[in-house]
């Protein structure tokens, strides 16, 4: 069982990180979604779904951090722990992201569609947390040991490297998921993949990558600065 102060620390980290992340990155999320489904942006809608986004980030941060703590007790490699934590959090991310997309695109919310895109969400989250919870601190520590640069600069480099890599690997899953959740008719992931490629080409699987990569880089930096603030410069999970 966790000690009460450990639980409070994780909640503080999640709250602090989600607050600043949504304020800064919500427009990036909006433009990412718009780019993926080839819809014209409406600037006044940029912060639509902010409450859903904030709730999503707060809940996912908690699930991912608590999952890491629990899974580490089973002597698993940190990379496996990070992947599994993402898969677990995808179960919660799917319906919350569905709400956010419906708010942003002004679409009706239907209960049977809450878990549309679940498989793609879990795959994406696994690759995302692999970058955020494993590669980012690993890269940060290696940079700090190898080069005489400041803490913030090394963390920025680590966030950029891990964020760009995880975004690039996971973005096709995110694109298919976004199409599944934004369409009225439900089709299977493989069918959605073929449909997207036939309509828009292979390159369309990476539409919005710049916005999502930027969002993840910023989110990584904010998360670990929040962890350093709460844990007093301890980068461990």
Which residues have a Cβ under 8 Å from the Cβ of 109 and sit 6 or more positions away?
A: 98, 99, 102
Q: Where do we find the tokens 């990070």?
A: 82
pLDDT for 1 equals: 44
Q: Where are the domains positioned within the chain?
A: 4-231
CA 158, CA 164: separation in Å to the nearest integer? 10
Look at the domain 4-231 and name its fold.
Answer: Mitochondrial carrier fold (1.50.40)
Q: Where are the alpha helices (DSSP H) in 72-188?
A: 78-105, 118-129, 136-146, 151-182
pLDDT top residue among 231 and 143: 143
Give the rounded percent of residues in the chain with a pLDDT score beyond 90: 57
pLDDT for 2 equals: 46
Q: Which of 126, 128, 127, 141 is nearest to 235 (CA)?
A: 141
Which residues have a Cβ under 8 Å from the Cβ of 48 and sit 6 or more positions away?
A: 30, 103, 104, 106
At 92-138, the pLDDT tens digits run 999 988 988 888 788 888 888 899 999 999 999 999 999 999 999 99
Q: What Å distances lie between residue 191 and 10, 176, 180, CA to CA?
A: 40, 10, 10
At 142-177, the pLDDT tens digits run 998 898 889 899 999 999 999 999 999 999 999 999
Q: pTM value?
A: 0.86
């Amino acid at each position: 069982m966790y000690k009460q102060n450990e639980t409070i620390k994780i909640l503080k980290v999640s709250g602090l990180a989600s607050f600043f992340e949504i304020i800064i990155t919500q427009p990036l999320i909006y433009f990412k979604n718009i780019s993926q489904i080839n819809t014209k942006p409406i600037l006044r809608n940029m912060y639509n779904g902010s409450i859903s986004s904030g709730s999503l980030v707060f809940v996912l941060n908690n699930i991912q951090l608590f999952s890491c703590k629990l899974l580490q007790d089973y002597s698993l490699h940190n990379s496996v722990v990070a992947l599994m934590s993402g898969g677990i959090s995808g179960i919660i991310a799917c319906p919350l992201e569905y709400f956010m997309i419906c708010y942003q695109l002004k679409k009706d919310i239907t209960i049977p569609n809450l878990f549309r895109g679940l498989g793609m969400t879990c795959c994406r989250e696994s690759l995302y947390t692999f970058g955020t919870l494993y590669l980012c601190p690993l890269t940060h520590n290696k940079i700090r040991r190898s080069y005489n640069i400041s803490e913030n600069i090394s963390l920025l480099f680590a966030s950029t490297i891990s964020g760009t890599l995880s975004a690039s690997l996971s973005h096709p899953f995110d694109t298919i998921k976004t199409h599944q959740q934004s369409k009225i008719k439900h089709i299977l992931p493989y069918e959605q993949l073929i449909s997207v490629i036939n309509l828009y080409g292979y390159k369309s699987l990476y539409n919005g990558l710049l916005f999502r990569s930027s969002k993840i880089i910023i989110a990584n930096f904010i998360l670990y600065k929040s962890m350093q603030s709460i844990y007093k410069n301890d980068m461990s999970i």
